[in-house]
Amino acid sequence: MGRTVTETARRAQIVQGAIEVLAEVGYAKTSFARIARQAGLSSTGMISYHFAGKDELMREVVAEVWRVSEAYMRPRIAAAEGHRARLRAYIESNIELLAVHPQHLAALLEVLPNLRGDEDTQQGYLESARAVLEFHQRQMQQAQADGGFREFDAWVMATAVRGAIDAVVTRWMTDPQLDPAAVGRELADLFDAATRAEAK
């Protein structure tokens, strides 16, 4: 709020550096020193100057990845018609992100499990994570009500979708020649079969 242009640019530069380091070496080895080097800064003090603390920086990383993901996924999901197509679009566009922004999802998976401990941050993260999950839950319940989806526990299904996508991201980190498009299609097929109302 009320940030100058250079200030905003500096913060973006640092967040970008953090994403790269997180994707490359993992959360445990991501230090201000490493980020500063990556971002071309001369001292770690500069990071502390621009961010209230490590937590704020990490929260910004999450926010940035969210922003990028939303920008890519939302229109693709919106373009889909019907519950099944939307679920497919969600899964496929999410995995396509691997090719578009190779480090963002990896960075996210490094940060999220390590945000706990800090009360406020955790609370905030848990809330938004739960909100997202609940949104998907409601979508699925609507689909069940509309007759397109079979009966299943929506929480478990939404959690499974997330976990499956995350697992693909994780494997892709150590095996980048994986074809995201093909895997995305397969995964969408999988959950299409898992959710589809049974043929009678």
Residues 6+ apart with CB under 8 A from 49: none
82 scored as a contact of DNA (CB under 7 A): no
Question: CB of 50: closest distance to DNA in angstroms?
Answer: 6
Q: Which residue has the tokens 């209230």?
A: 52
Q: Alpha-carbon distance 55 to 75, whole Å?
A: 31
73 CB-side CA count, 13 A: 21
Q: Alpha-carbon distance 111 to 15, whole Å?
A: 12
Beta bridge partners of 149: 196
Query: Which tokens in the block code for residue 89?
Result: 């679009």
Q: Which of 7, 70, 134, 153 binds DNA (CB under 7 A)?
A: 7
159 scored as a contact of a second copy (CB under 8 A): yes
Question: CB of 24: closest distance to DNA in angstroms?
Answer: 13
Q: Which of 15, 18, 30, 109 binds DNA (CB under 7 A)?
A: 30
Q: Which of 1, 6, 113, 147 binds a second copy (CB under 8 A)?
A: 113
Contact range with DNA by CB under 7 A, out of 48-56, 59-67, 144-152, 164-172? 48-56
65 scored as a contact of a second copy (CB under 8 A): no
Burial tier of 102 (Cβ tally within 10 Å: 0-12, 13-18, 19+)? middle
Question: CB of 166: closest distance to DNA in angstroms?
Answer: 24
Question: CB of 21: closest distance to DNA in angstroms?
Answer: 10
138 scored as a contact of a second copy (CB under 8 A): no
Q: Do 36 and 44 touch, CB atoms closer than 8 A?
A: yes
Q: Alpha-carbon distance 172 to 167, whole Å?
A: 8
Binding stretches for a second copy (CB under 8 A):
25-29, 109-110, 113-114, 116-117, 126, 150, 152-153, 156-157, 159-160, 162-168, 170-171, 174, 183, 186-187, 189-191, 193-196, 198-199
